[in-house]
Structure 1
Amino acid sequence: MSEKDCIFCRIIRGEQPADFTHRGERIVAFKDIRPSAPVHILIVPRKHIRSINDLAGEDESLIAEMILLAPDLAREAGIASSGYKLLFNVEKGGGQFVFHLHLHLFGGWQRK
């Protein structure tokens, strides 16, 4: 899939609506339109990288920035102290449906 056709690239370019929780120079974050948890945020690099399998050495700081943004987003969503989960799905067999690298932040479950 080309950047032109990529849904996340269209969101980043403002061609597709999204509920943004963060807009940074290299990374954006927005709420998943089909959430799998009470809080489900996607952390997405502006740079189109197809999958974890397509990372290059030059992307090391980008991945670190994505992960380091997660606690801030969790605090803003009110789930930092109760706990949350981070997940990269990799390729179809690993559950990846959108082929633009993204990190899922899940949380907000009420545990008994």
Structure 2
Amino acid sequence: MVYEDAEYIVIRDIAPKAPIHLLVIPKRVTARVDEITDPGEMGRLWLKATEIARQQAPDYRLVANCGPGGGQMVFHTHIHILAGWDGGPESDL
């Protein structure tokens, strides 16, 4: 566990794709990020992901995969924080 509050938990990915790979997971359950219909809820999720990402690294990538064809493998809404590359070719995900 990297972070927890009333709305979110943040954990390390068990199969990291970057030197820093975290998952921001809302406690309110939806299967996909595009199932969130409340703009405030969506905004809070992305703001929390940005807040945590900025604490981890100066440069980062936020990713939300939607559905199997979009690369989603875990069907609970989450945002990936990817960071920590040195600018080399591995940063081209």
- Fold conserved (TM > 0.5)? yes
Match of 1:30 in 2: 11
Structure-1 residue corresponding to 2:35: 54
Unaligned 5+ runs, structure 2: 89-93
Q: Are residues 1:94 and 2:54 paired?
A: no
Distance 1:26 1:72 in 2: 14
Larger radius of gyration: 1
TM-score of the two chains, using structure 2 as the length reference: 0.85
Instruction: Sort the Cα spacing of 1:94 and 1:111 in 2 relative to 1 into closer, same or farther, 3 A.
Output: same
**Alpha-carbon distance, 1:85 to partner:** 0.3
Give the fraction of aligned pairs with identical amino acids, expressed as a percent.
Answer: 30
Whole-Å separation in 1 of the counterparts to 2:21 and 2:7? 20
**Any conservation in 1 of the 2:2–2:11 contact (CA below 8 Å)?**
yes
Once the 2 structures are TM-superposed, how far is the Cα of residue 76 of structure 1 from its aligned partner?
2.7
- SS state of the match for residue 77, structure 2? coil
Unaligned runs of 5+ in 1: 1-19
1:3 is aligned to none
Q: Is contact 1:26-1:62 (8 Å) kept?
A: no
TM-score (norm 1): 0.71
Q: Kindly report structure 1 stretches of 4+ aligned residues shifted beyond 3 Å.
A: none
